[in-house]
Structure 1
Amino acid sequence: MIFVLPFLFDTGVSCIYNPAMDERFAELLEHNSAAVKRLFNLNQQILSEAVKQTVFSEFMEGTLSILQKMFKNDEVIIVTGPGDKRTCYRLYMDNGRAEFSSLYNAPLVESIDDGEALFRKPRHIYNPFPQKANPDSIRHYSHFISLRSGSEKIGSLVMATSSSPFSNDDCTLIDMIADTLSLAMASFEHKSAMTERVKELTCLYRIAQLSADPNLSISEVLQGVVLLFPPAWQYPDVTAGKIVFDSSTFVTESYVSRPLPLLSDIVVNGRKRGWIEVVYLQNMPIMDEGPFLKEERNLINTIAHQLAVVIEHRELEAEQEQLHRQLLHADRLATIGKLAAGVAHELNEPLGNVLGFAQLLSKDGTLPETARNDITKIESAALHGREIVRKLMLFARQTQPKKATAKINQVVQQALSLVESRLSSGGVLLDLKLGDNIPETVLDSSQFVQIVINLVVNAAQAMPEGGKLTIQTLCEDNTLVLTVKDSGTGMTETIRQQIFLPFFTTKDVNQGTGLGLSVVHGIVLAHNGTIDVQSEPDSGTTFTIRVPIIRKPDYGEGTNE
């Protein structure tokens, strides 16, 4: 323990360093029992304050008040923390009223450091405080003492007054109280550390509970998590938080942007998707990282990592569910395809017979005009039925495509030449974006013309009041990409999942067979491609077809596979 006798700045009284604390206490005990009672009373009050308070600044304020009332001095200062992170907790009397402040006052801290250093040397001292210190920073009569936990210095205590020097008994009491104060500070630090760990673990446990609830969406989980931030940080009443994820932001009610925030990135599958931010709404003492503890840095990093794991898991589950639905859909289409193929084969022969006999009858010159008209209707109906059978066989991939090398841009332009008049009459603005340097590929040109026509007609029907139709071609990773996008009415998710089913249609009766998109689906699959549909009500629809580019076929041009 280091202690010093009082000194008088104006007269230059000698300062004596005397480590014989036990002897002084024994002398105090023998000659001044009242001082001993004051010592025990002070010890009890300071230790009680350490137990009662949960915030260090409040513990400091209470302790400074206890010391000021006991010694009736004008100013009490406790400096805590290492290096430039030290904080001055200061209580001074202003016209009989106690004023408390907690901040880092560099000149004041330097003056206290100078005072402690000088008092360790037994020599005459006259005003060790240079002009760089505020004139009222330290009073005329001051007593300095280091606060230590074992061999480690944890702070400084300064007792100052303007009225009269401290008595020898007061100096002895202050020296002894410093031991109690050091013990109380160390105990408070351990208690605070334990409390902070419990708060952090509680926060992480509640985050785990939120994440485990399957009924909550990712957005609901993130909003719940951000509300758990304030109770987990050192100053809950002035803590606010924000989570940014993709294009969404989740904040506590009182959040505002502040300097020195604590940040941690949310990284999902190696890609930054957002971040977590915690701020204090008031200026707080400088700690390990700005106003935050190193444990709070570890906490926010843990939360960010935990959220990344939750998001990755949720997105994986959603992807697996989507794949499962796609497999069920594909299986359903395959089953319908088999049924359609069987029906088509069964209908094809009788339709052919009906058409053949109708054509033979139509050549009979003796038939009356009424009968001839009826035969024409039979022939037309048979042709219509055969066209439906042909489309069913395309959907079921029973008709092999006649593949040959072709340029997709030419195929698109050929198809558009057949529907241009329909687009212009319907007020549809065509935006054609044909990619450059797209290599020739092996495909059935006539079938791809049918794909473009079917998609364009569907788009035009989805824009009864006109709109914009965008057709784009490009080459991407040795894959031919054809995109048809409209600004029409769009569709719900329920409808989107059924559009490739044969005979499914949202059009009025006699407005379509419901086979157009089924045919498109069958042709794409026959070319080992994929078709993707993105659509929302009132937001238009986008069809994206991807087909592998085949530059060197193993078969001759114009032949089947």
Structure 2
Amino acid sequence: MHTTEQKLKERIKELTCLYEVTSLIVNCDYDKVEHALKGIVKCMERAWQFDKETYVALKTVDFDLKTDEKGTDYVFLESPITTFNKPHGSIKVGYPAPKYSLEDFLEEEQQLLDNICLEVGNLLERKEIRENEVRIRRQVEQADRLRILGEITAGIAHELNTPLANILGFAELLEERVADDSQASKDLKKIITNTIFSREVVKKLMFFACEMPQEKETVNIVPIIEDAIDLMRSTLKQSDISCDLKVSEQIITLRIDKIQLTQVIFNLVVNAIYFSPPKSTISVHVADKNKKVILKIADQGSGIPEDVAQHIFEPFYTTKPSGEGSGLGLSVVHGIVKSHQGTILHKKNNPTGTIFTIEFPKT
């Protein structure tokens, strides 16, 4: 039996712990939640009756924190952490077994544990809400920038089309006239090659600005994606990279422009190849889920730095060395996806790399 003095001492420890936990949560920087959780775990270790032998383990989707172990086997009090009424993790407080049993825990200690789990869940909810607000704000800002850039690039593309067509036409005519002059022929070939390259850049600009006419039809997209990947087999082989395609079923129908879908696959896989190390695998997953089709392309490369992430869909923005990329690939993909009322997002792959997720509505 505990004396009145012992009971009072335990209540003081519990109230002190709850006060410290509340203070850590109130003053928590949402970018340093792990630091606050470590502090909470340490507070809890001191709050239990046999504090010298108490072991605390906090585990959530993102964190796995523990105090120093005092044995190999334990008896535990446990309470769940929930966020938005869904399980998110748990906190366990244990004593070494068989020295202690569940009867050695106080009823008030279970109540304290439940209260702490409730507070931790509230903290993680607020963190998630804040992150969602930041992400939505960035998406709105990015959509605004892309809309303005789309209008500008559409005008540029139209202005460049006519002079490029004239340069190409007259260069081809001159090529016939100077067939006997080898140096002039070489120079003209360079002009023609660079003009064709410039025309392709203009075409990408028009794709980005959604100025290219679409020919949508309801098709099975599986063979289209298979063909697009097959066309890149030689590039994959040269880079010593494999590409793994998985589909939820062999017939996945979608109303889409076939050429533009091919371009989306091309650009994303080519990007993945460029940033992937040898011997790695690029995964392409296609799933038909009720009212939408989900396309995921994951690589095992170096990933996208945080300071770059918000710019990757902007035209002419590239992290590749000069001459190795026009900076239009992802902006074209973004324009095509948006023109099909779809969404495109990216996140970190585990342990390294990037996952691009595209969702196309089926209606």
TM range (shorter): 0.7 to 0.9
1:242 maps to which residue? 57
1:213 maps to which residue? 27
Q: Is 1:519–2:332 an aligned residue pair? A: yes
* Distance change in 2, residues 1:208/1:357 (3 Å): same
The answer on whether the counterparts of 1:355 and 1:379 sit within 8 Å (CA) in structure 2 is: yes
Matches within 5 A, 1:347-386: 347-362=160-175, 371=184, 373-386=186-199
Q: What is the rounded CA distance, in whole Å, between the counterparts of 2:233 and 2:52 in structure 1?
A: 67
SS of the residue 1:512 aligns to: coil
Q: What is the rounded CA distance, in whole Å, between the counterparts of 2:222 and 2:174 in structure 1?
A: 45
Percent sequence identity is: 34
2:148 maps to which residue? 335
1:393 maps to which residue? 206
1:125-176 CA-partner distances (Å, limit 9, x unpaired): xxxxxxxxxxxxxxxxxxxxxxxxxxxxxxxxxxxxxxxxxxxxxxxxxxxx
Matches within 5 A, 1:526-537: 526-535=339-348
Q: Which amino acid aligns with 2:307?
A: T
Q: What is the rounded CA distance, in whole Å, between the counterparts of 1:265 and 1:196 in structure 2?
A: 23
* Distance change in 2, residues 1:223/1:515 (3 Å): same
1:224 maps to which residue? 39
* Distance change in 2, residues 1:353/1:309 (3 Å): same
Q: What is the rounded CA distance, in whole Å, between the counterparts of 1:233 and 1:433 in structure 2?
A: 51
The answer on whether the counterparts of 2:178 and 2:184 sit within 8 Å (CA) in structure 1 is: no
Matches within 5 A, 1:92-491: 189=4, 192-215=6-29, 217-246=32-61, 248-253=63-68, 255-256=70-71, 259-280=74-95, 290-362=103-175, 371=184, 373-463=186-276, 465-491=278-304
Q: CA deviation at 1:522?
A: 1.0
TM-score (ref. length: structure 2)? 0.86
Question: When you count helix as a share of all residues, which structure comes out higher?
Answer: 2
Q: CA deviation at 1:396?
A: 1.6
The answer on whether the counterparts of 1:242 and 1:250 sit within 8 Å (CA) in structure 2 is: yes
The answer on whether the counterparts of 1:438 and 1:474 sit within 8 Å (CA) in structure 2 is: no
SS of the residue 2:214 aligns to: coil
Q: CA deviation at 1:510?
A: 2.1
Q: What is the rounded CA distance, in whole Å, between the counterparts of 1:259 and 1:412 in structure 2?
A: 53
* Distance change in 2, residues 1:370/1:251 (3 Å): closer
1:502-532 CA-partner distances (Å, limit 9, x unpaired): 1222323322212112211111111111122
* Distance change in 2, residues 1:400/1:192 (3 Å): farther
The answer on whether the counterparts of 1:429 and 1:467 sit within 8 Å (CA) in structure 2 is: yes
Q: What is the rounded CA distance, in whole Å, between the counterparts of 1:266 and 1:533 in structure 2?
A: 28
1:194-217 CA-partner distances (Å, limit 9, x unpaired): 544443332222112111224362
SS of the residue 1:228 aligns to: helix
SS of the residue 2:323 aligns to: coil
The answer on whether the counterparts of 1:489 and 1:538 sit within 8 Å (CA) in structure 2 is: no
Q: CA deviation at 1:223?
A: 1.0
Q: What is the rounded CA distance, in whole Å, between the counterparts of 2:95 and 2:273 in structure 1?
A: 56
Please say which of residues 474-483 and 431-440 is displaced more in the overlay: 431-440
Q: What is the rounded CA distance, in whole Å, between the counterparts of 2:353 and 2:113 in structure 1?
A: 42
The answer on whether the counterparts of 1:211 and 1:310 sit within 8 Å (CA) in structure 2 is: yes
1:208-248 CA-partner distances (Å, limit 9, x unpaired): 21112243622211110111124433444444433222363
1:291-317 CA-partner distances (Å, limit 9, x unpaired): 233222222111111111111111211
* Distance change in 2, residues 1:447/1:227 (3 Å): same
The answer on whether the counterparts of 1:490 and 1:538 sit within 8 Å (CA) in structure 2 is: no
1:166 maps to which residue? none
Q: Which amino acid aligns with 1:272?
A: P
Q: Which amino acid aligns with 2:320?
A: K
Q: What is the rounded CA distance, in whole Å, between the counterparts of 1:353 and 1:202 in structure 2?
A: 81
Q: Which amino acid aligns with 2:85?
A: G
TM-score (ref. length: structure 1)? 0.58
Q: CA deviation at 1:445?
A: 0.2
Larger radius of gyration: 1
RCO higher in structure (CA 8 A, sep ≥6): 2
The answer on whether the counterparts of 2:138 and 2:310 sit within 8 Å (CA) in structure 1 is: no
* Distance change in 2, residues 1:305/1:257 (3 Å): farther
SS of the residue 1:533 aligns to: strand
- Paired positions, count: 362
Q: What is the rounded CA distance, in whole Å, between the counterparts of 2:126 and 2:183 in structure 1?
A: 72
The answer on whether the counterparts of 2:75 and 2:97 sit within 8 Å (CA) in structure 1 is: no
Supply the RMSD in Å over aligned alpha carbons.
3.0
Q: Which amino acid aligns with 2:228?
A: A
Q: CA deviation at 1:480?
A: 1.3
The answer on whether the counterparts of 2:343 and 2:358 sit within 8 Å (CA) in structure 1 is: yes
Q: CA deviation at 1:367?
A: 9.2
Q: What is the rounded CA distance, in whole Å, between the counterparts of 2:100 and 2:267 in structure 1?
A: 70
* Distance change in 2, residues 1:292/1:537 (3 Å): closer
The answer on whether the counterparts of 2:74 and 2:97 sit within 8 Å (CA) in structure 1 is: no
